[in-house]
Structure 1
Amino acid sequence: MPLISPDDGHLTVFNLFETDTVPLQEDVLDAMRDIIDNADYPGWISSTLHAGVDEPGTVNYIQWRSAADLQARYEGQKFQRRTVPLFHKLARTVRLLKTELAFTQHHPSLDGGIEILPQRDDYTVLIVLDTKPEDQRELLDTLTEPDEWIKTVPGYRSHTYFRGVDGTFVVNYAQWESKELYDAFHTLPEEKRPAGIRNGRNRARSLVTGRQANTYRVTHSRSAKD
C-alpha cells in the first residue's frame, strides 16, 4: 500500500503527461497500467496512476529505493526504444521529475498516515513550482512552515512538498475532499487568510519562475509487495 511517509527515504518520481484530449489521456492511462502491472525492476517499490480531472493529463507517482535503481531503468533498451517514443507520441508534454520528500502535514483525522489509493475518493491537486537553484531552499523553507490554520479549512486532508533533486523545482501534492471545497479554498480572498499565511504566499510567489498545475483522481496502484 503506497504511503507518503517522511521516514521511508524513498526517491519519489512524478511522471507528468499533458495530453490534448481525454481520449489521448485514456491511451496514456492504458499504456501506464500495462507498465505498472508488469513492473519487476530492481529497486522499484510502487506506482500509483492518476487521471486528470480539470485538464487532460496523467501523473504516475513512483517510489524507488534509490536514484541508481531508477537510472538503471531509464538506461534500459526497452525504456529507451519503446516507452519513451510511445509517450512522446501520445502526450503534448512529458516531465520526469525526481524528488525527495521534504515536508508533509495532514488533517488529524488521517491518523493512519497519508495513503494514495484508488479505493479512496481524494481530489488530488499537484502543482510544480519552478525556481532558481539558489532559491529552492528558501522557497521550501517558506512553503513548509507548519500550518495549523489549514487544518480548520473544510475539505482539507493533506499536503506534501517534495524537493526536486536537480534543484530547479518544488512539487506540492495535496489531497482534498472534493473539487468544490478545494476551489473554495483556492479562491478564498487573501484578506480572509491569516497574516502569516499571506506573507508566506507573497514571498513564495517572488521565488517561483514557473507553475504547472492540474487536479487528479487515483485510478490504479500496485506495489512490489502485491
Structure 2
Amino acid sequence: MFTTDTTDQQRELLDEMRQVIDEGDFTGWRSSTLHAGQDGCGTAGVTQWRSLTDLEERYAGLGRRNGTVPPFKRISTSVHLLKTEVVFAQHRSDLPGIEMSPERDDYTVIIVLDVAQQDQSALVQVLGRPDEWIKTVPGYRSHALCRGIDGTFVVLYAQWESKAHYDAFQAMPESARPQSVRHRRAFTDTLVTAQWSSTYRVVHARSAGSQAVSITSQRGPWQAGATSVRSS
C-alpha cells in the first residue's frame, strides 16, 4: 500500500506498478491486482504467491539489485509492505464468488488493524466468523480477512457497490445493528491498538499465463466514470 501527495504522483506510481505487473514472471507468482485510490491519493497492489518462501526470495535485496523499490519510495509519502494469508472470506448470497477485476465497479475498502501479537488469534477468531446480517446490508458485496504473517496486524478487504452504500453502513447507529454484531465490534475495540483505511478501485490485473486487463479513464486513472476496458 502506497500513499502520495498529488494525483500526478498517483498516476506516475500507477504507471510504474503496471510495468512491474506486466513484465513480471517470477517463480511462485500467481497474480497481481492494482488498485487506484478513490478518496485519497495512493495505490494498493494485491499479489498472490504460491508460498511465503517464493515471496521472500523475490524481494530479498530487490532494491539493492535493480532499483525497483527506490522509485516507489521516491514517488510515495509512505510505503507499507504487508505479508498476509487469507483466513476467512464471504460474499453476498446472490453473487457467484469473490473476484478482483478492473472489469468490475467495486468500491473497495482496505482496513489495516494493528494488534499485539498475543491478541492476534483472538482478533482473527472474532472477525473470521460468518456474518449473515451484513449480507442483507444494501450495497455489501464481499469481504475477506487476512492475517499478518508477523502477528502484529490483520487486514480487512471489503467490496461495496458504491461509496454512498459504504458511507451509509459506516454511519449506521449501533442500535440498528444486531446485538451479536454490537458485541463483536465492542470486543474488537478492546484488541485493536490502531487502525487506518483507504478506498480504491481496481484498475489493472494480470494472472500467470494470461494477458493483463486494465481500465483507463478520460478523467484520470484514480476516478470512476468515463471508463473503458482494454486487454493488453
- The answer to whether TM tops 0.5 is yes
Residues 129 and 57 of structure 1: CA distance in aligned 2, closer, same or farther (over 3 Å): same
Match of 1:182 among 146, 166, 174: 166
The answer to whether residue 99 in structure 2 is matched with residue 118 in structure 1 is no
Q: Deviations over 1:172-207 (max 9, x none)?
A: 000000000111001101111011101100110111
The answer to whether residue 153 in structure 2 is matched with residue 169 in structure 1 is yes
The answer to whether residue 35 in structure 2 is matched with residue 50 in structure 1 is yes
Residues 133 and 78 of structure 1: CA distance in aligned 2, closer, same or farther (over 3 Å): closer
Residue 146 of structure 1: how far off its partner (Å): 1.5
Match of 1:154 among 132, 138, 141: 138
Q: Is the 8 A contact 1:17 1:91 kept in 2?
A: yes
Residues 68 and 39 of structure 1: CA distance in aligned 2, closer, same or farther (over 3 Å): same
Q: Is the 8 A contact 2:73 2:79 kept in 1?
A: yes
The answer to whether residue 94 in structure 2 is matched with residue 109 in structure 1 is yes
Paired residues, what number? 210
Identity of aligned residues (%): 55
For the residues of structure 2 that align with 1:129 and 1:88, how far apart are their CA atoms?
A: 23
Q: Is the 8 A contact 1:46 1:222 kept in 2?
A: yes
The answer to whether residue 24 in structure 2 is matched with residue 39 in structure 1 is yes
For the residues of structure 2 that align with 1:150 and 1:70, how far apart are their CA atoms?
A: 33
Q: Is the 8 A contact 1:73 1:79 kept in 2?
A: no
The answer to whether residue 186 in structure 2 is matched with residue 202 in structure 1 is yes
Match of 1:224 among 187, 208, 212: 208
Specify the alignment match of 1:8 in structure 2.
none
Three-state SS of the structure 2 residue aligned to 1:151 is: helix
Q: Is the 8 A contact 1:160 1:173 kept in 2?
A: yes
Q: Deviations over 1:14-56 (max 9, x none)?
A: xx00111111111110000000000111111000000000111
TM, length-normalised to structure 2: 0.88
TM, length-normalised to structure 1: 0.90
Instruction: List aligned pairs for 1:39-118, cutoff 5 A.
Output: 39-75=24-60, 77=62, 80-111=65-96, 113-118=97-102
Specify the alignment match of 1:6 in structure 2.
none
Structure 2: gaps of 5 or more residues: 211-232
Specify the alignment match of 1:30 in structure 2.
15
Higher relative contact order (CA 8 A, sep 6+): 1
Counterpart amino acid of residue 14 in structure 2: L
For the residues of structure 2 that align with 1:72 and 1:160, how far apart are their CA atoms?
A: 26
Residue 79 of structure 1: how far off its partner (Å): 6.5
